[in-house]
Amino acid sequence: MQKKLLAVAVAGVLASPLAMAQSAVTISGVFKVGVDNIRLSNATVARTGHLSENRVTDNSSRIIFGITEDLGGGLAAIAQLDVRPQLDDAGETNVAAGNSWVGLRSSNLGSLTFGRHDLHYGKQPDDTAALAGALMASSVSLMDYIGVTAIANATRTPNVIRWDSPNWSGFAMTVAYTTSPFGNEADLGSAVRKGNGWNFNPSYTSGPFQVGASVWRAKADGAIVDQDSLSLYGYYRFGAFKVGVGINDSEIEGAAGITNDRRSWTVPVSWTSGSHNIAGHYTRAGEDKGTAASDDAARMIAVSYSYLLSKRTSAGVTFAKITNETNAAYNFFTNTGGLGSTGSTMTAGEDGRLMAFTVRHAF
């Protein structure tokens, strides 16, 4: 009997390190697809054919694998794989297209991760696309672009070393450095310069309000193309309402000096009551003071209504419109990338109107 008990005890001791070494894996994500109608007006002479179309559009669906291993002493190994399938046309071949990284997390010191991260863009408190609203209606459309040029990629930044602080009584910050902000490393063999970038993003949240700031500076590898951008943002909740504000001031500088310099601002509002959610924003991109051309400002208005069918499933409708001045060429967010459609990118002076019905399921 004693030998059996001893055998059980030994087996337990030998098994415990194996049990401690196991990682906890979670699978979560969002499937979000809609039926859109996009219509263009003030068409340029170069555009021929139809000025509207119906389409099925993926709204950045994702499957996220989260991995955590408890290392003891308040330290954990962490990793995330963020897969972005495009459910409308089976696009997106990069398995790690989303926020994908590996690192360490300390209960006292925060987390340090290496990989791909969303940095700087999308800081304005806009809830238009948060549930079943169309992603293309986001105020990112004007806030994080200078015309056709994206600030901070308006998507994930590659090659990132990122530190996220603990939450210190509502105050938190992100500090990130990228060895190559706009793509693959190209320092070796370059006779121009080495590229890099960094982002500093402190914020404070207390009860019904939040304020924050984000600074972005980036230099391209092997080319004199610099981005400098500052975003200030905040919101306040009272009852069922949320009112926010965002300001973005961005510059692009080339070898001959500043080529683009514009300021954008947005006022997002939302209302939530039970299963009903209404959100919208008015956004304006100012004149680009870095160009010789005038009349390159734009404005955007968007509103969405979403209804929660359950805690995980919602359906919604969205209306959005961008009005470009004669020399402005702003587009709906993601419409110029893999989530748009052929010919739907607006050119200078064209206006766009988007109507969408979207279904979202989170898991």
**Quick one: DSSP state of residue 182?**
T
8 A C-beta contact, residue 25 and residue 67? yes
Question: Which tokens go with 75?
Answer: 């330290």
pTM of the model: 0.90
Can you say whether the dihedral through the CA atoms of 202, 155, 64, 359 is positive or negative? positive
Q: What is the CATH number of domain 25-362?
A: 2.40.160.10
Report the distance separating Cα 81 and Cα 26, nearest Å: 11
Which residue stretches of the chain have pLDDT < 70? Answer: 1-21, 92-93
Report the distance separating Cα 233 and Cα 225, nearest Å: 26
Q: pLDDT exceeding 90 applies to what percent of the chain?
A: 82
Report the distance separating Cα 131 and Cα 73, nearest Å: 38
pLDDT tens per residue across span 3-60 = 343 343 334 433 444 344 578 999 999 999 999 999 999 988 788 889 999 999 999 9
Q: Where are the domains of the chain?
A: 25-362
What phi and psi, each to the nearest 5 degrees, are found at residue 260?
Answer: -145, 140
Burial 236-266 (b: 16+ CB within 10 A, else e): eeeeeebebbbbbebbbbeeeeebbbbbbbb
pLDDT tens per residue across span 139-168 = 999 999 999 999 999 999 999 999 999 999
